[in-house]
Chain A
Amino acid sequence: MANSPDRLSPLDELAMPVASEGKTGVELSERLCGSLIQVQAWPKTITKTKAAITKITKKRAAVVMEVGPGRWLIDDDGEELEEELRGAVNSKMGAVTGLTHGRVVVGISGSKATWVLASGIALDFDLSAFAVGETQVSHHHEIGVTIHRTGVDSFDLYVFTSYARALWGWIEKASREVGYSIS
């Protein structure tokens, strides 16, 4: 694994850093996860599986997102997460699926972040409905997106790799009205 060549994001060239001209309502960014692993517990093993996950993730800076009943998506910088989770969660407990290559993360932050997102996503971004640290699974047009709120005005959007350019296009277009930069 360690020797594998660099991974290429579909946004590699699109998301080149750009400073905004004039006002900057949002700042956009793009990254790939070191690991992005989904764990699906069975109905009766949710607690046990969650504990197994926590044991592994607490020693790293991993982000654990609940994306369905007994289902978590875990984002970590390291590349070994899948192996570790597979070791900890056997098929009697649940299923481990690697999605590291299946998603690209689009970051959006700034005072107009919720304005830009709400132009395409039918979620209530009010903090009372979507708190910092929470994850919501929804869609931007026909593109499924997992949205993780990393701060009051900042979000990570986990988008399917094949749709990453399409989503980027939407977000960039919506950002023009408020001004944007790319970091």
Chain B
Amino acid sequence: MRFTCPHCGPRDHQEFTYRGDASAIRPDIKNTSIGDHNAYVFDRANPDGEHREIWNHTLGCRTHVIVTRNTVTHEVTVCEPIGPFKEVLS
């Protein structure tokens, strides 16, 4: 697979480290609910089809991207930046 890093351009996926399902959103730092944290850590939709997922370009510029990828065909449709530089890279 090849991802287009918003900073570095198209690269092999092995330059990136998988960080999992982008729909798992950590509860706010003020949130102390065990249930909310459990859901964040353990609940996965694991779809067969479109999946938004986070990858870190660890062997490149080390910024994170959200990759929209079909888990059945491995077709990548979007690579978008996430993080402090989201707007800068968009």
Contacts and interface: CB of A to CB of B under 8 A. Distances in A.
Contacts of B15: 122, 138-139
Interface stretch (B25-33, B42-50, B54-62, B71-79): B54-62
Contacts of A137: 8, 59-61
A138 B11 contact: yes
A53 to B, nearest CB: 16
A28 B85 CA distance: 37
A71 B59 contact: no
Contacts of B88: 43, 46, 69-70
Contacts of B59: 137-139, 144
Q: Is the interface of B mostly helix, strand, loop or mixed?
A: loop
Residue of A69, A70, A129 with most chain B CB atoms under a 10 A cut-off:
A69
Interface residues of A, number: 15
Interface residues on B, range: 10 to 19
B35 interface: no
B34 to A, nearest CB: 34
A5 interface: no
Contacts of A46: 88
B11 A122 contact: yes
B11 A68 contact: no
B8 A136 contact: yes
A42 B85 CA distance: 8
A67 interface: yes
A89 B81 CA distance: 26
12 contacts: A43-B84, A43-B88, A46-B88, A68-B7, A68-B62, A68-B63, A69-B61, A70-B85, A137-B8, A137-B60, A138-B60, A139-B15
Interface of B: 6-9, 11-12, 15, 59-63, 81, 84-85, 87-89
Interface of A: 42-43, 46, 67-71, 122, 129, 136-139, 144
The 7 closest A-B pairs by CB, nearest first: A69-B85, A68-B61, A139-B59, A137-B60, A43-B84, A122-B12, A69-B7
